[in-house]
Structure 1
Amino acid sequence: MTCYVTLELKVDYLERNLKAATIEIKNIPTSNPENITTLTGIVQKLGSIINQPVPAPDIKNIFRLRGKKETVGTVVVEFSTTSLKEQFIQSTKNYNKQHTGNRLNTSHLQATGPRKPIFVSEALTAATKRLHYLTREFIKNSEYEQCWTANGKVYIREKEGLPSRLIKSEEDLLKLRREKDK
């Protein structure tokens, strides 16, 4: 392993630890004015909808990233604890499973304009985002059916009920591809 690769792994590890209690929320409509207080209020409202209360002191930091033209930017929320982040994500999943016909969307926030789905996910490092993308592309052409992230790591599973596999690098995907070709 070269020094460059070792350094990249260390940076990714540090960045993953920095984002351990952080989520990203996509498609939150902008408000005018928009500041920490209004964004906190939106997250608290989402929390009440999904039955996961979020007291204001539990939001360590919150801001909106710039979006591409004609799209709203992602809202980044850093919670005070990793367990609160996990509970918020799990509550969102549970809500969407229970309300398949009316999954979490902008109408729940009484937003004007077209109804758009609201997506909640953990914040990933750039390297993990790339690996997650490559893994999703891999499963499209393989016998694997599921791909997800948890705690900043990428996992795949061949079928429901079978054990999951941790994907640490692109090399892991290449090994799986070679196994499939045999």
Structure 2
Amino acid sequence: MDLRTIKEELSSLKDIKSGLEFLSAEYDRMKKELKTSEEHIKSLSAKNSNLHTKVNELSNRLVLLEQHSRETNIEVNGVPESKTENLINVAKQICNTVSIPTDLIETATCTRVRKMNDSNKRPRAIIIKLPSVKTRDEILAAVTQFNKKNASNKLNTGHLGYIESKSPIFVSEHLAPYFKALHARTRQVAREKQYDFVWIRNGRIFVRKNDQSLAKQIKCYDNLNTL
């Protein structure tokens, strides 16, 4: 091998070495950038998790505030709608039927509310805003007692003068939309799991398997997985 060939080989090796050094430097740079990106992603993930937690906390607080604003209300479902209806008179008729003095609702306000599902053909619910939680509880207890005593003729439209066709009237606590949907789902799951009792007390949803079992509060949808 002559000197010229040797020089060419050495030059070629130098080029290869330079290329390897460049690739090594690029690898180190990319490795550093990848580490920085991973740390940035972890930081963003932690921030996102914190934001998610805060959003959940705020959502829960909002739901509780919505429920608190309804604490003196009762919701009446099943009363047919009429253009000439007087809702306070409807409320008084219900009170008379279940033996509650009508003077308890003299300062009450009544209104129909929009349906959650517009395709639902049932009449809109009536919301009766009462002067106190005590009055609310007295009316709810009276309705429950009336229905127990009159199992074959529970509160219905006939008691309000609708003679042609009798259909049930339901009186309950006025739930915020979240709890209303949760209550509906709870009733469905309770039927599937053969729970005998589902009830509402002060805006809270409870279930009980049978007379001998303990009551469980349903605070969120995840609680239904434990039934």
TM-score scaled by length of structure 2:
0.70
CA distance in 1, matches of 2:186, 2:122: 26
2:97 aligns with 49
CA distance in 1, matches of 2:165, 2:173: 25
Alpha-carbon distance, 1:100 to partner: 1.0
CA distance in 2, matches of 1:27, 1:81: 24
> In terms of mean alpha carbon deviation, does 130-139 or 90-99 score higher?
130-139
Alpha-carbon distance, 1:143 to partner: 4.9
2:111 corresponds to 1:63: yes
Equivalent residue letter for 2:183: H
Equivalent residue letter for 2:106: P
CA distance in 2, matches of 1:110, 1:86: 25
1:5 aligns with 56
2:217 aligns with 166
Q: Could you list the per-position Cα deviations for residues 120-153 of structure 1 after superposition, in whole angstroms to 9, with x for gaps in the alignment?
A: 1111111111221222222223253211111111
1:93 aligns with 144
**Contiguous gaps of at least 5 residues in structure 2:** 1-51
CA distance in 2, matches of 1:32, 1:127: 30
SS of the counterpart of 2:138? helix
TM-score scaled by length of structure 1:
0.86
SS of the counterpart of 2:76? strand
* Alignment root-mean-square deviation, CA: 1.8
Divergent runs of 4+, >6 A: none
SS of the counterpart of 2:185? helix
Shift in CA distance, 29/18, structure 1 to aligned 2, threshold 3 Å: same
Larger radius of gyration: 2
1:124 aligns with 175
Higher relative contact order (CA 8 A, sep 6+): 1
SS of the counterpart of 2:102? coil
How many percent of aligned residue pairs carry the same amino acid? Answer: 24
Of 71, 74, 77, 1:26 maps to 77
1:145 aligns with 196
Shift in CA distance, 57/137, structure 1 to aligned 2, threshold 3 Å: same
* Count of residue correspondences: 172
